[in-house]
Amino acid sequence: MKIKITTLVLFAIFWSTSVFSQTEAEELAKKLANPISSLISVPFQNNTDYGIGENNGLRNTLNFQPVVPVSLTKDINLITRMVLPIVTQYNITGAGEKQSGLGDAVVSMFFSPKNTKNGFTWGAGPAFLVPTGTNDFLTTDKWGVGPTVVALKQANGWTIGGLVNQIWSVAGNDDRSDVNQMFVQPFVIYNWKSGAGAGLVTEWTQNWEIDKATVWLTPTFSGVTSFGSQKVQFVFGPRFNLSAASSQAKADMGWRAGMVFLFPK
């Protein structure tokens, strides 16, 4: 499966220029590097992590992440973004144990200016934690809310920026721990005119309740291509677990593979 995914990514990277004009491929890649661009996209991001804890556990997380921009006024867009994890894990909660199902969803709403200035753009709004988890080990069983903001600058093929949210639980199961969690995601991406790209993403989750952090570093390679009229981006790269909230939760290694369906206006 990994070989097939890698082959598709390499195909997209090296052959995107034969599918699109350079201008079209470059513009699509630029919008995809911007989390708040005016582009409808439906990403499926799969993360597979190995060697977790003392039982050498494995966790596969498929994140369904649709992004839908809505024009509110001539100057302001509302960009809605949901991250819904679909999880299967083995030997995480105990030797020989398995859990699978939905995790909790995070729904973000960014109010963002339509016009950029010198390549700089930003968006801000609320983020909501929704307890969609279908297994006790995959959910906080809490409703949460807090602010989120993203800011970035694009110039000469580079996209440099970051996304931050802070969520506090406000309702839910009183027997479960409160949620007081910050997520920070700085990113650097370079896109060639062909639409191929290389990037570096850091994902830092700070659990303030226990004052512990989980940090992942993910170099990525990407490319855009087309299947008939459907435009698609492929993303692939290794994942490095630099720290975890518990020694029992730290992974030895991981991989990310993604497919993004694009719907340009």
What does the H/E/C string look like for 166-180?
A: EEEEEEECCCCCCCE
pLDDT of amino acid 79: 96
CATH number for the segment(s) 2-263: 2.40.160.40
Length of the chain, in residues: 265
Residue 21 has a pLDDT of 59
The kind and range of the H/E element at 18 are helix 2-19
Residues of the chain under the 50 pLDDT cut? 1-6, 12-18
Give the whole-angstrom CA distance, residue 222 versus residue 197.
5
Side chain identity at 38, as an amino acid letter? Answer: S
Contacts of residue 7, defined as CB under 8 A and 6 or more positions apart, other chains included, come to none
Provide the pLDDT for residue 19: 52
pTM of structure: 0.90
Q: What is the rounded distance in angstroms from the CA atom of residue 194 to the CA atom of residue 228?
A: 18
Segments making up each domain of the chain, as ranges: 2-263
pLDDT in tens, 2-53: 444 445 555 544 444 445 556 677 788 888 898 888 899 999 999 999 999 8
pLDDT of residue 36: 86
80 burial via Cβ count (<10 Å: 0-12, 13-18, 19+): middle
* Strand partners of residue 213: 206
